[in-house]
Structure 1
Amino acid sequence: MGLRELKKEQTRTLIADTAWRLFTDRGFDAVRVAEIAREARVSEATVFNYFPRKEDLLYSRLEAFGERLVAAVDSRPTGTPVLDTVRTFLTRTSGLLAQVETGDDDALVRLRTVHRMIADSAALRAREQQAIADTTTALAERLAAETDGPPEPAGVTAYVAANALMGVHRALVDLVRRRVLSDESPDRLAADVRVYGEQAFALLAHGLADYGVRSAGRDEEA
């Protein structure tokens, strides 16, 4: 990376980090782009040059998360199943959730602020789903390119696998959002994310053949 590219990346990171701090402190709607520019000591035009929409400022971290996930899959050692790599990546505790686990009350407030403003905004929820969908597509394309066997023009199997793996991510995000907004055992949340994540990946590893088999009791109730 040349000096010019490095400076641009540093500016982008500064703007995104500044926006994230202001959003988590005060909420998405309460922060104006002009304030973010002022705090980051750049022009408002510079902010929009890097982030065309205000929503992009919030989701730059989610997109970076997706890029790191795909990079981890790309760089996994030979012979390593993609499920193992994605499981390790998604079940490790980091960021605000890791801080909450240590008893950081300020981190819990920020985590609640982020999830509350997403829950209350259809535009932010749509942007979140788009970011996850983009990561799913990128992961599927990587898997389709490296999979041995008969060619699949539509990459069906790769897309099924990618959606299953990213489905765990979506489920864990939903779990965190429900729990932090309901004040339900926040001190246990990080541990529960790991436990439920491991259970979900164990289900994927085992397969769905024996999952959701309708019991005789259900037939009688019907």
Structure 2
Amino acid sequence: MAELGLRERKKQQTRQLILDTAARLFTERGFDGVSVAEIARATQLSEVTVFNYFPAKEDLVFGRMEFFEERLVAAVEQRAAGESAVAAFGRAVIAGADQLVARVDMIAKAATLIRSSPALQAREREVTERYTKRLTEVLAAGTGGGGDDMEARVVAGALMAVHRGLLEYVRDAVLAGRRGKRLAQDATAQAGRALARLESGLADYPANRQAGTAAD
């Protein structure tokens, strides 16, 4: 067990080394100006090793960011009986707002990279679409529908739009030089207003499966 723990720690250290090295090179020369081969040389690893940890170059930018989308989908899927999807999603979004603001340096670097690279912009859209599809499936399951349920798809799109709107709001603010507690308060207020607008029409959507079972 001790050997397994040591191996896992080494893997985490290698992953962090690759991410940190890539971030430094991307900041210096831009995403499109750095190759995976250069990142491998700078970390004294092989290209194969880098690709084993990050299958695509874009993953070096989005690898850490997708964790938040995972939490959003999980919050809806694991919500308490009787809780609306908007309420569960909203709790996760608001909780993440402070984390976004607390990582202003990372947000500023990521925003600069993404907005200067068509490849990264395309990848970010792919990430959003993938999690929107997963959220659609979670919502549809709550109503007995499938992944092609239009209502679930529309609601999932609206919820993810709140997340995307918050992220872009924070990116704009950070790049404009805003920092600190006031930014966190403003970001939370912006997200709260958008969520309240959705909640007014979606407070009972979808009927939670556990709640439905209890009622039956």
Query: Shorter-chain-normalised TM-score: which range?
Result: 0.7 to 0.9
Contact 2:136–2:147 (CA under 8 A) maintained in structure 1: no
- Map of 1:198 onto structure 2: 192
User: Residue 131 of structure 1 aligns to a residue in which SS?
Assistant: helix
User: Residue 65 of structure 2 aligns to a residue in which SS?
Assistant: helix
Contact 2:76–2:89 (CA under 8 A) maintained in structure 1: yes
Contact 1:19–1:58 (CA under 8 A) maintained in structure 2: no
Contact 2:69–2:131 (CA under 8 A) maintained in structure 1: yes
The CA distance in 1 between the partners of 2:101 and 2:22, in whole Å, is: 15
**Is 1:18 matched up with 2:12?**
no
Post-superposition Cα deviations, 1:175-218, rounded to whole Å, max 9, x if no partner, equal 122222333x334322211000000000001139xxxxxxxxxx
> Cα gap change, 1:50/1:63 in structure 2, threshold over 3 Å: closer, same or farther?
same
Contact 1:143–1:158 (CA under 8 A) maintained in structure 2: yes
Percent identity between the two aligned chains:
40
Cα drift, residue 146 of structure 1? 2.1
Cα drift, residue 161 of structure 1? 0.9
Contact 2:140–2:147 (CA under 8 A) maintained in structure 1: no
TM-score by length of 2: 0.75
Query: Structure 1 counterpart of 2:140, which letter?
Result: A
Q: CA RMSD in A?
A: 3.0
Cα drift, residue 32 of structure 1? 4.1
Contact 1:16–1:58 (CA under 8 A) maintained in structure 2: no
Matches within 5 A, 1:1-222: 7=8, 10=12, 13-14=15-16, 17-19=19-21, 21-22=23-24, 25-26=27-28, 27-29=30-32, 31-37=34-40, 42-92=45-95, 93-95=97-99, 97-100=101-104, 107=105, 110-148=106-144, 151=145, 154-183=148-177, 185-187=178-180, 188-207=182-201
Gaps of 5+ in 1: 101-106, 209-222
User: Residue 61 of structure 1 aligns to a residue in which SS?
Assistant: coil
> Cα gap change, 1:194/1:126 in structure 2, threshold over 3 Å: closer, same or farther?
same
Query: Structure 2 counterpart of 1:124, which letter?
Result: L
Post-superposition Cα deviations, 1:18-75, rounded to whole Å, max 9, x if no partner, equal 3564267534345543454356554221111332321121111222222222222222
Higher RCO, 1 or 2 (CA under 8 Å, sep at least 6)? 2
User: Residue 207 of structure 1 aligns to a residue in which SS?
Assistant: helix
Cα drift, residue 12 of structure 1? 7.6
Post-superposition Cα deviations, 1:56-101, rounded to whole Å, max 9, x if no partner, equal 211112222222222222222222211111111112234452244x
- Tell me the number of residue pairs that the alignment of Structure 1 and Structure 2 aligns: 194
The CA distance in 1 between the partners of 2:32 and 2:194, in whole Å, is: 35
Gaps of 5+ in 2: 203-216
